[in-house]
Amino acid sequence: MNALIKKFGVVVIVAASMAGGLLAYKSTQYDFKTFNGNTYTWKELDGQWVIINYFAPWCAPCLREMPELNALHNALPENTYLFAINYDRQSIEQMQEMKTRFSIALPLIMSEADTVLPMEKPPYLPATYIIGPSGEVVETVLGEVTAEILKQKLIEHKRAS
């Protein structure tokens, strides 16, 4: 009887350890991370509208549209997120310098090997993607955009859905 209780205790401890390990593993999984450390999964963004802008500090049109994207970020419609992602991978230090130098206020996605986005890297810049509530790209805008253009496109897509 005493041996049976010991075996049961070991089984309970092993099962609890495995469950704890699985929970810890799942809590560290994400699809993308922003410069400020926030992590996101596409599952948690389900039902939301997401705008992702690809840019680079060597792209003049990208830098011209950044104040527009900052303005849109400060006046986002309900259920809408806006992110920017640098076309090239950069270190934390490089991103901080770029964020400061170009006055980038919107969240920056860290371009990492395991970053998961619902689109391929664009063929040229700037490129802006509107992702609908189902997680699929509903519009691709290649070239410079304004806050007003993006707001209008969002309104059109929201009406159509």
Domain ranges in the chain are: 1-30, 32-160
**Tell me: the pLDDT tens digits for 105-119?**
999 999 998 999 999
pLDDT digit string (tens) for 78-102?
999 999 999 999 998 999 999 999 9
User: What confidence category does residue 26 fall into, taking pLDDT thresholds of 50, 70 and 90?
Assistant: very low
Rounded to whole angstroms, the Cα distance separating 74 from 24 reads: 34
Which amino acid is present at 66? M
Q: Does position 66 have pLDDT exceeding 90, yes or no? A: yes
Retrieve residue 144's tokens.
């410079």
**Looking at the whole model, is its pTM more than 0.85?**
no
- Percent of the chain whose predicted confidence (pLDDT) is above 70: 83
Q: Which CATH class is domain 32-160?
A: alpha beta
pLDDT band at 136 (very low <50, low <70, confident <90, very high): very high
Query: What gap in Å lies between CA 41 and CA 31, rounded to an integer?
Result: 5
Question: What's the distance, CA 26 to chain centroid?
Answer: 18
